Amino acid sequence: MVDLDLEKFFDRVNHDILMSRLARHVEDKRLLKLVRRFLQADMMQEGVCVRRDEGTPQGGPLSPLLANLLLDDLDKELERRGHCFCRYADDCNIYVHSQKAGERVLASVTQYLERKLKLKVNRMKSAVAPVWERKFLGYRLLSRGKLGIAVQSVARLKEKVRQLTKRNRGRSLERTVSELNSLIRGWVAYFRMAQAKGTMGDLDAWMRRKLRCMKLKQCKRAVGIARFLMSRGVERNKAWMLGGSGKGWWCKSLSPQAHRAMGKNWFNEIGLDGFADRYRKLERFA
């Protein structure tokens, strides 16, 4: 697979080339003038208005449409060459039969983009590699055309969960669970097409341990931990044993006492959505 990465794509779009492509489809001069003004609108940079000579406004609703209009030339060129490819906005993967063929395609397509469309290919991030080693829109391609979740996507999700479950963040458990639920629903909905039952289960186990850790620290002292554990059915001596333990919070969260007190029922009581449960619900309708 040839994995193409365009360097600062939305910042480097050539206005003249883009307007010439738009003029192929739009005859109304007033609309063309309006789009040109949209492209050349000044941007605020460190409190100073700066003139824009290239690129499209970041986050502008028209920018993705204009990007597709410009890169339609790339699609037509790849179709003319007979390549199998997939492109979404500025992300593009081209599928070839061998490493050598991929290197040739990468060189020729890079030349086409830089000479014809005046775009810059990021040579550090672009690469030729087996399909399962690269990602596309957060997914990775598995054998027989199945989809998996890219390792980088899981790593980014875990970093977001870490930020939400920081023990010194000063958020109540209820608010943290609400924020996690929003994250879980959006993330699972996006990756519902992936073959990821094992990944979802692993994420559940890891996230629940983070929440156990957070809850134990919120109990603060040994007496608070022991009282909470006993209220959840843990024997008195075992509850005090964990409360008085000198181990770290992460280590305590893995203890049998913590698992008994904060099992699946406890997470249901506090209203936590699970990755695996949410994935199974969406899988039925996929």
3-state secondary structure of 128: strand
C-alpha distances out from residue 17 to 24, 56, 58, 151, Å: 11, 13, 19, 37
Q: How far is the C-alpha of 92 from the C-alpha of 121, rounded, in Å?
A: 11
Please write the tens of the pLDDT for every residue from 181-229.
999 999 999 999 998 899 999 999 999 999 999 999 988 889 999 999 9
What confidence score (pLDDT) does residue 157 get?
95
Check residues 25 and 80 and name the one with the higher pLDDT. Answer: 80
Q: For residue 190, give the nearest of 152, 145, 137 by alpha carbon.
A: 137
What confidence score (pLDDT) does residue 212 get?
94
Averaged pLDDT of the chain: 88
Q: Which residue's structure tokens are 């492109």?
A: 87
Least confident of 4-13, 114-123, 214-223: 4-13
Name the band, by pLDDT with cuts 50, 70 and 90, for residue 108.
Answer: very high
Please write the tens of the pLDDT for every residue from 22-53.
888 888 889 888 888 887 777 666 667 767 67
The one-letter code for the residue type at 108 is S
CA atoms 256, 260, 264, 266: torsion sign: negative
Looking at the predicted structure, is the pLDDT value of residue 95 above 60?
Answer: yes
Q: How far is the C-alpha of 248 from the C-alpha of 239, rounded, in Å?
A: 16
Please list the alpha-helical segments (H only) found in the chain.
9-12, 15-23, 29-40, 63-81, 99-116, 151-164, 173-190, 197-218, 222-231, 236-243, 249-252, 256-261, 264-269, 275-285
Q: How far is the C-alpha of 110 from the C-alpha of 57, rounded, in Å?
A: 24
What confidence score (pLDDT) does residue 260 get?
93
Q: How far is the C-alpha of 98 from the C-alpha of 129, rounded, in Å?
A: 9
Looking at the predicted structure, is the pLDDT value of residue 236 above 90?
Answer: yes
Cβ neighbours, 10 Å, residue 276: 19
Looking at the predicted structure, is the pLDDT value of residue 248 above 80?
Answer: yes
The one-letter code for the residue type at 9 is F
Q: Which of 57-61, 138-142, 179-183 reaches the highest mean pLDDT?
A: 179-183
How far apart, in Å, do the first and last CA atoms of the chain sit? 27
What confidence score (pLDDT) does residue 284 get?
64
Query: What's the rounded mean pLDDT across residues 228-251?
Result: 91
Query: Contact at 8 Å (CB) between 257 and 243?
Result: no
Tokens of 266: 């406890």
Model confidence, pTM: 0.79
What confidence score (pLDDT) does residue 283 get?
72
Task: Count CA atoms within 13 Å of residue 51 on its CB side.
Answer: 1
